[in-house]
Chain A
């Protein structure tokens, strides 16, 4: 158990809908990262927050947004969902914003299915 929690574990929705994925980082970790992993694909970095502030952006679509709250939990919002958004969404956390030298601890993921 990495100490990172993600809810829900599974999510099934329809095209055009909006969903919110939630992540609670490990106790003491200030950085939260979001990744997308499509079937048998690699990890696509979406976005990183550090202590409530956006730190880095990756290949995040404009239909997607995220935020990190004062209690350090984070939410990833996906809107106008398309079939191609079906994927595993992982949250990871680390102590600092460096990402390296500071291990990223991954949550169990949220499996999103868009029908």
Chain B
């Protein structure tokens, strides 16, 4: 119930394509869903986040789509660029205020 399942584990996308990473959860008490981006050798950094009262949030080329009934949320990266190559983590805030992390997706954008 406290898990966040993230897929795929790795993803290769051509430059200019759309990258899509999916996460699913079981606990309906989760109420905040951030995505973090981590470059090699660096700490993760918040990329974009959403609350369950909205179905979509867009910031530049990055969009979170949220499906409350399906208990799923996804990150879409439009016009993917080589500089987007990184590991992406989804997370969810539990009722005890802890972040439950997905396992991460290693994204490679091929030029």
Interface, chain A (partner B; CB < 8 A): 2, 4, 40-43, 45, 48, 56, 58, 90, 92, 97-101, 103-109
Chain B positions near chain A (C-beta within 8 angstroms)? 31-32, 34, 41-46, 49, 89, 92-93, 96-99, 101-104, 106
Expressed in whole angstroms, the Cα–Cα distance for A105 and B42 within the complex equals 12
The residues of A that contact B43 with a CB separation of less than 8 Å are 2, 4, 90, 92, 106-109
B-side contacts of A107, CB under 8 Å: 43
Are the CB atoms of A108 and B101 closer together than 8 Å? Answer: no
Give how many A-B residue pairs fall within 8 Å (CB-CB): 57
**CA separation between A105 and B89, bound complex, in Å?**
14
Least CB distance from A17 to B in Å reads 24
Whether the Cβ atoms of A42 and B97 lie closer than 8 Å is: no
Known contacts A2-B43, A45-B98; A101 and B104 CB within 8 A of each other: no
Q: How far is the CA of A2 from the CA of B99 in the complex (A)?
A: 19
A43 & B89 in contact (Cβ 8 Å cutoff): yes
Compute how far the CA of A35 lies from the CA of B106 in the bound complex, rounded to whole angstroms.
19
